[in-house]
Amino acid sequence: MYEDNNSNYVSPASTKRGRIFLIILVAFLSLALGASAGIAGVGYFLAVNDVDVRSIIMGNYDPGQGVQTEEIVKEVIKRVEVVDSTTGSPVAAIAEKVIPSIVSIRITYPYTYYFFNTEREGVGEGSGIIISDDGYILTNNHVIEAALQANSNVKYESATIKVFISGRTDEPFEAEVVGRDEVTDLALLKIEADGLIAIEIGDSDKLSVGDLAVAVGNPGGMMYMGSVTCGIISGLNREVYDQDSGQQDDEKLNLIQTDAAINPGNSGGALVDATGKLIGINTLKIVSTGYEGLGFAIPVNNAMEIVEELKTQGFVSRGRPNIGIAVSSEYDSAIAAELGLPEGVLVTQVGGLTPAEAAGLMVNDIITEINGVRVKTFDELLAEKNKYSPGDVIDITVYRQTGETGEDGEYLEIPLTLGEANY
């Protein structure tokens, strides 16, 4: 949101003293240590100490509201000397602060291999963030969901979720799932440990496009544990929605966009600001020919609200109706005509322990009506579903194939009691 502040604008001519001070400060540091390191150090120190740079430039800085002007000079010089004597980059200080709060998460889970229908063990890895010193870990739902029974917080009998802490990779902790939320792709884990280094929580509502952004996580898994990439905030309130993810809400995710490199394994890791405070939880990137530097993170303010609900009840209550299916994004009128099938919404997955399973919906059913209203697209399905409340009974008309061709099928009217979208 932009605000018109012209009424409060002060002419530069009337702020000569403040501007001279800033020029002298930067010039002095540049002569002593090099311009790039000096300016980076100034920005880092002022940000850490919540000193408003604009107030110094405009000449109305009030020392009573923060560190004294003389102290600024001394401390900035000291800070820049430290940065310059090591790597010349304030990102090194950020990494040193944040890495101890980032963990690696490894899951193992059973699955059936299609070849000879044999049982196999799958392995997945991702990142997590220590948010309390007594063992609460924040990560993405998609990092752990393969180890869990459908739509629950309960692990499969042979599944494991292990947390590896930086510097203690030989002592993994077994993690329990406190709660998870598919819509926002967040999950809260708990390990039996104390004295951990919790990350400092920032304020994602105060971000601006162009702010420094540093991503910390484990791209590629534990092989590259504690990796740091640097970029900027490229955009705010980016709407991202994956209709093939199985979520049955038309709620779009408003995410932070960044060009800091985010790769598989970074999921669940931290996006932090220039002071090393958590501003986002890395969740996904766009991978497609012609696209580069499009990573996304869940704003920390939204995430911490979800965390509180997961702590208290294990799920997020939205009071919104849920069917419990995933649908195809490719099935349209052209494909329907080619196959000799009716237009509608093609079911590709029926979630376990969901209203859809209880009602008897099946994979490859084509939903054509809800309570007599024709639906041809996923958006039309959502619009009709959302007219009702959890607990309401609706009649879903589906076309179910009974043979090999589109002509071999029948229409069924299936009563379904809507659930609540709380996962």
pLDDT bucket at 120, cuts 50 / 70 / 90: confident
pLDDT bucket at 295, cuts 50 / 70 / 90: confident
Q: Which residue has the higher pLDDT, 294 or 167?
A: 294
d(CA 25, CA 77): 9
Element of type H or E holding 159 = none
d(CA 61, CA 66): 9
What values do phi and psi take at 335, rounded to 5?
-65, -40
pLDDT over 90 at 302, yes or no: yes
* CATH pick for 204-300 out of 1.10.287.70, 2.40.10.10, 2.60.40.1730, 4.10.490.10: 2.40.10.10
Kindly state the tokens that stand for 400. Answer: 């179910």
Question: Whole-model pTM?
Answer: 0.60
Any idea which of 122-136, 190-204, 286-300 has the lowest mean pLDDT?
A: 286-300
CATH placement of domain 321-420: 2.30.42.10
When mean pLDDT is compared over 87-101, 220-234, 297-311, the highest value belongs to 297-311
Give pLDDT, residue 422. 59
d(CA 410, CA 367): 12
pLDDT bucket at 40, cuts 50 / 70 / 90: very low
CA angle in degrees (0–180, nearest 5) for 185-419-318: 50
Residue with tokens 């980016």: 238
Q: Which residue has the higher pLDDT, 254 or 228?
A: 228
Q: What b/e readout covers 39-71, taking b as 16+ CB neighbours within 10 angstroms?
A: ebbbebbbbbeebeeeebbbbebeeeebbeeee
Q: Which residues are known catalytic residues?
A: 142, 185, 267
Q: Which residue has the higher pLDDT, 64 or 357?
A: 357
Q: What is the mean pLDDT of residues 305-317?
A: 89
Q: Which residue has the higher pLDDT, 238 or 23?
A: 238
Q: What is the mean pLDDT of the chain?
A: 78
Could you please report the per-residue DSSP string of 265-293?
A: T-TT-EEE-TTS-EEEEEEEE---TT--S
- What distances in angstroms separate CA 122 from CA 119, 180, 265, 362, one per listed residue? 10, 21, 15, 26
pLDDT per position as a tens digit, 316-330: 877 778 898 989 888
Any idea which of 31-45, 115-129, 277-291 has the lowest mean pLDDT?
A: 31-45
pLDDT over 50 at 240, yes or no: yes
Kindly state the tokens that stand for 149. Answer: 């029974």
Q: What is the mean pLDDT of residues 349-378?
A: 93
pLDDT bucket at 69, cuts 50 / 70 / 90: low
Kindly state the tokens that stand for 66. Answer: 């923060």
d(CA 295, CA 6): 35
Q: What is the mean pLDDT of residues 110-114?
A: 75
- What distances in angstroms separate CA 148 from CA 140, 175, 190, one per listed residue? 13, 12, 15
| Percentage with pLDDT > 90 across the chain | 46
Tally Cβ neighbours within 10 Å of residue 121. Answer: 12
The conformation of residue 91, written as its DSSP 8-state character, comes to H
d(CA 344, CA 414): 15
Q: Give domain 99-190's CATH architecture.
A: Beta Barrel (2.40)
Give pLDDT, residue 310. 94
Contact 280, 232 (CB under 8 A): no
Element of type H or E holding 71 = helix 69-86
Give pLDDT, residue 178. 96
Give pLDDT, residue 222. 83
Indicate the length of the chain as a whole number: 423
d(CA 196, CA 357): 42
Contact 332, 379 (CB under 8 A): no
Give pLDDT, residue 323. 92
For CATH 2.30.42.10, list the domain ranges present in the chain. Answer: 321-420
For CATH 2.40.10.10, list the domain ranges present in the chain. Answer: 99-190, 204-300
Give pLDDT, residue 345. 95
- Side-chain-facing half-sphere of 74: CA atoms under 13 Å: 5
Q: What is the mean pLDDT of residues 154-158?
A: 88
Any idea which of 20-29, 59-68, 87-96 has the lowest mean pLDDT?
A: 20-29
pLDDT per position as a tens digit, 176-187: 999 998 888 999
Kindly state the tokens that stand for 41. Answer: 């150090």
Burial of 328 (0-12, 13-18, 19+ CB in 10 A): middle
d(CA 181, CA 141): 7
Q: What is the mean pLDDT of residues 267-294?
A: 83
Contacts of 265 by beta carbon, 8 Å cutoff, 6+ apart: 125, 126, 127, 217, 218, 219, 220, 221, 224
pLDDT per position as a tens digit, 395-418: 999 999 887 665 678 999 999 999
**Starting from the edge strand earliest in sequence, which strands make up the sheet with 176-181, in order?**
168-174, 160-165, 102-113, 118-130, 136-139, 186-190, 176-181
